[in-house]
């Protein structure tokens, strides 16, 4: 069975059982509390919590999707036969529709009948943290003839929440045997019965029992790793041996005869992951998602130098990925992706040259480098340790692999602490530069203020003319502060009109939505934006209205926004003042 057949079988199976098929969401989530999309359920979070109505949006209480995911926790393990950073997740979901009995029966039938794979064993939740043992699932499995049912704890069979809070619940996992006789988890059914107001670490610690609350309508969230399923079905031991990677491997092999399998796998995984991330608008940089792409690309390039891989391997691999996945994810066909990869390669080459110079300079003065100096050069210039040893064997002689790795680990901990601060720790929960919020409560207010700010800019242009252009904005839980170009004081009467217009749009409860498109198309829609070259090639245009054409406001923006303008509440302008020649400032609040 080809991977394409498995994909279609999955979608057909769930479609014919009443599921609406929903396309994968972007790898860059709209949820600001997570950096990347790591699971199929993420795009459905508001349906589990009851914020959005599945029946209205999908004409069904259940959906199925094949979701692009990136997980970077084990990025340094990639190169072995199992780890991947980019993968696809098959999922079927129910938001207050069917529950345990049907979800387990679907999984059982799909795996044993459609894929014709025997189940080795399943797991169920043993009970803890105030949640009882899942005897119901146990009985359902037994009734289906599964006898090996293992009970496990909260660390293994209780999923979620992702980010700073969210739906969560006990799970039941399904294991099948691979070609080496090892049992591998291939399917995970989450019973989203709870909402936890806190992180997963806090949940597991048991220190906030009051933060675990039952959801009004329990839901189902299934995740099945596509590559693992294909590996088992095709009778191989590694996802890298499946047809998913076949052409990629053949091409890598052409570039370097007898290349080490470990290096070939790094290329195969990292290249695919980079293409998908770039396709979703991520650009190599030194922070957050941009840093992940930079690291993936530079790791490949460092191996290219160390292993003497000549020729333009990126240009050769790109059409293979576009062809293999473009049918399902048309965004990976964009030729801009290859330009981004090539630009990053050129920067890397420059960094390598500068890094070698620095290495030579340091080794001339201090003869031998310390582990921390070696690590500093490695991280600044993107040279891996192997490469450094080749370039400067004398200078690096005193640094052992262990000492270098110890430096690396220490650095990882520091950067992880930084991430946690931003994404779930005790610092700011959200800081986009423009919007700042320290917790979920504040996040809700700044989101309302953010949409209100869009509406206000549109209203200002309607009342004062197109001369009005945003010059900056700063949104906190207290207020929005909006600076704009305009040549004179705005009168009280004009301010009242602006306020009135915004409140009228609030009372119309217009949907606030976005469309992703190329920068060029976005400009043509008339959407407002800052300096055009600040944006990536693909942008989101947020608009308030039923269609982009008829929208009251449209702007280039990364979100977050309310889903309907009614959520903003009463909008009030507090103050108008001057902040320099031709620039005015308005402070406003929502009540």
**Site residues (CB under 6 A) for ligand SER?**
39-41, 91, 159, 188, 190, 221-223
Q: How far is the CB of 439 from ligand SER (least distance, A)?
A: 24
Joined tokens for residue 253 = 């092999």
C-beta of 187: minimal distance to ligand SER in Å? Answer: 9
d(CA 347, CA 345) in angstroms, rounded, equals: 5
* Least gap, CB of 289 to ligand SER (angstroms): 19
Establish whether the linkage from the previous residue to 161 is cis, with ω within 30° of 0: yes
Beta bridge partners of 517: 539
CB of 216 to ligand SER, least distance (A): 20
35 versus 263: smaller Cβ distance to ligand SER: 35
Catalogue the E-assigned strands of 451-511.
469-475, 480-485
- The nearer residue to ligand SER, 41 or 468, going by C-beta atoms, is 41
**Contact residues for 254 (Cβ-Cβ < 8 A; gap 6+):** 316
Would you say 186 or 190 has its CB closer to ligand SER? 190
Q: Which is nearer to ligand SER, 160 or 382 (CB)?
A: 160
Report the residue number, 91 or 382, with the smaller CB distance to ligand SER.
91
Question: 580 is written with which tokens?
Answer: 């320099």
- Please tell me the distance from the alpha carbon of residue 149 to that of residue 562, in angstroms, as a whole number: 44
Q: Is the dihedral of CA 144, 146, 151, 154 positive or negative?
A: negative
CB 150 → ligand SER: shortest distance, Å? 18
Q: What's the closest the beta carbon of residue 39 comes to ligand SER, in angstroms?
A: 3
Residue closer to ligand SER (CB basis): 88 or 407: 88
Rounded to a whole number of angstroms, the minimum distance from the CB of residue 274 to ligand SER is: 22
Read off the tokens for 22. Answer: 């929903």
The DSSP code for 144 is T
Using CB atoms within 10 A of its CB, is residue 549 exposed (0-12), middle (13-18) or buried (19+)? exposed
Nearer to ligand SER, 229 or 527 (CB): 229
In the complex, minimum distance from the CB of residue 93 to ligand SER, in angstroms, rounded to a whole number: 8
- Residue corresponding to tokens 């390039």: 301
Nearer to ligand SER by C-beta: 219 or 560? Answer: 219
Least CB distance to ligand SER at residue 546 (A): 33
Q: Which is nearer to ligand SER, 228 or 584 (CB)?
A: 228
Please identify, using beta-carbon distances, which residue of 173 and 555 lies nearer to ligand SER: 173
Nearest to 508 by CA among 460, 557, 545: 545
Helix/strand number for the chain, H first, E second: 19, 18
Q: What is the closest distance, in whole angstroms, from the C-beta atom of residue 188 to ligand SER in the complex? A: 4
The pairing of beta strand 62-70 with beta strand 20-21: parallel
Phi, psi of 227 (to 5 degrees): -65, -35
Least distance in angstroms from the C-beta of 87 to ligand SER: 11
Quote the least distance from Cβ 40 to ligand SER, whole Å. 5
- Name the β-bridge partners of 419: none
Residue 344 CA, distance from chain mean position: 21
Q: Which residue has the tokens 């957050």?
A: 288
CB of 41 to ligand SER, least distance (A): 5
Residue 95 or 486 having the CB closest to ligand SER: 95
**Quick one: angle between helices 336-366 and 288-306, nearest 10?**
70
- Nearest CB to ligand SER, comparing residues 224 and 475: 224
Integer angstrom CA distances of residue 178 from 82, 124, 238, 276, 279: 12, 21, 9, 28, 33
Apex CA 361: angle with CA 356 and CA 363, to 5°? 95
Give kind and range of the element (H or E) at residue 68.
Answer: strand 62-70
The whole-angstrom separation of Cα 32 and Cα 164 is: 10
Strands 62-70 and 86-95: what pairing? Answer: antiparallel
For tokens 């009004």, name the residue: 216
3-state secondary structure 203-247: HHHCCCHHHEEEEEEEEEEEEEEHHHHHHHHCCCCCHHHCCCCHH
Our CB check for ligand SER shows the closer of 187 and 404 to be 187
User: Edge-to-edge, what's the strand order for the sheet holding 538-544?
Assistant: 512-518, 538-544, 553-556
Whole-angstrom Cα distance, residue 441 to residue 446? Answer: 9
Closest CB to ligand SER: residue number:
223
Minimum CB separation from ligand SER for residue 69, in Å? Answer: 8
158 or 404: whose CB is closer to ligand SER? 158
Closest CA to 178 of 268, 75, 81: 81
């Amino acid at each position: 069975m080809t991977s394409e057949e498995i994909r279609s079988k999955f979608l057909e199976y769930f479609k014919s059982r009443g599921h609406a098929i929903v396309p994968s969401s972007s790898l860059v989530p709209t949820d600001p509390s997570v950096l990347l999309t790591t699971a199929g359920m993420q795009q459905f979070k508001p349906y589990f919590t009851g914020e959005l109505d599945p029946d209205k949006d999908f004409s069904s209480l259940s959906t199925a999707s094949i979701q692009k995911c990136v997980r970077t926790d084990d990025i340094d393990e990639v190169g072995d036969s199992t780890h991947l950073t980019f993968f696809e997740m098959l999922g079927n979901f129910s938001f207050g529709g069917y529950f345990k009995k049907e979800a387990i029966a679907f999984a059982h039938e799909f795996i044993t009948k459609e894929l014709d794979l025997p189940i080795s064993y399943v797991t169920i939740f043993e009970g803890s943290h105030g949640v009882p043992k899942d005897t119901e699932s146990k009985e359902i499995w037994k009734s289906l003839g599964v006898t090996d049912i293992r009970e496990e704890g909260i660390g293994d069979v209780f999923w979620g929440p992702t980010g700073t809070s969210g739906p969560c619940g006990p799970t039941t996992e399904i294991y099948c045997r691979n070609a080496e006789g090892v049992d591998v988890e291939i399917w995970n059914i989450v019973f989203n019965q709870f909402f936890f107001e806190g992180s997963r670490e806090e949940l597991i610690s048991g220190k906030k029992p009051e933060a675990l609350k039952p959801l009004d309508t329990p839901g189902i969230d299934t995740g099945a790793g596509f590559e693992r399923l294909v590996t088992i079905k095709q009778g191989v031991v590694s996802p890298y041996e499946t047809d998913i990677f076949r052409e990629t491997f053949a091409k890598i092999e052409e570039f370097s005869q007898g290349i080490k399998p470990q290096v070939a796998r790094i290329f195969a995984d990292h290249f695919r992951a980079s293409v998908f991330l770039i396709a979703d608008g991520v650009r190599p940089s030194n922070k957050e998602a941009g840093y992940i792409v930079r690291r993936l690309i530079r790791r490949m390039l460092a191996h290219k130098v160390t292993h003497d891989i000549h020729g333009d391997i990126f240009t050769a691999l790109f059409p293979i990925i576009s062809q293999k996945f473009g049918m399902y994810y048309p965004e990976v066909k964009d030729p801009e992706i290859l330009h981004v990869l090539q630009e990053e390669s050129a920067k890397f080459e420059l960094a390598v040259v500068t890094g070698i110079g620095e290495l030579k300079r340091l080794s001339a003065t201090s003869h031998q480098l310390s582990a921390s100096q070696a690590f500093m050069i490695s991280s600044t210039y993107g040279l891996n340790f192997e490469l450094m040893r080749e370039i400067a064997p004398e200078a690096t002689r005193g640094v052992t692999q262990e000492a270098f790795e110890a430096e690396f680990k220490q650095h990882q901990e520091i950067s992880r602490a930084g991430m946690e601060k931003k994404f779930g720790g005790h610092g700011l929960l959200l800081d986009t530069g423009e919007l700042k919020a320290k917790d979920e409560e504040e996040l809700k207010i700044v989101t309302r203020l953010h949409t209100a700010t869009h509406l206000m800019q549109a209203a200002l242009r309607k009342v004062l003319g197109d001369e009005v252009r945003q010059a900056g904005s700063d949104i906190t839980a207290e207020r929005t502060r909006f600076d704009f170009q305009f040549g004179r004081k705005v009168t009280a009467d004009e301010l009242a009109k602006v306020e009135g217009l915004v409140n009228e749009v609030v009372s119309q409860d217009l949907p606030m939505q976005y469309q992703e498109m190329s920068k060029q198309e976005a400009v043509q829609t008339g959407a407002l934006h800052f300096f055009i070259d600040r944006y990536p090639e693909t942008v989101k245009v947020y608009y308030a209205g039923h269609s982009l054409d008829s929208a009251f406001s449209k702007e280039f923006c990364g979100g977050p926004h309310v889903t309907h303008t009614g959520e903003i509440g009463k909008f009030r302008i507090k103050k108008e003042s001057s902040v320099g020649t031709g620039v005015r400032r308005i402070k406003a609040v929502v009540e």
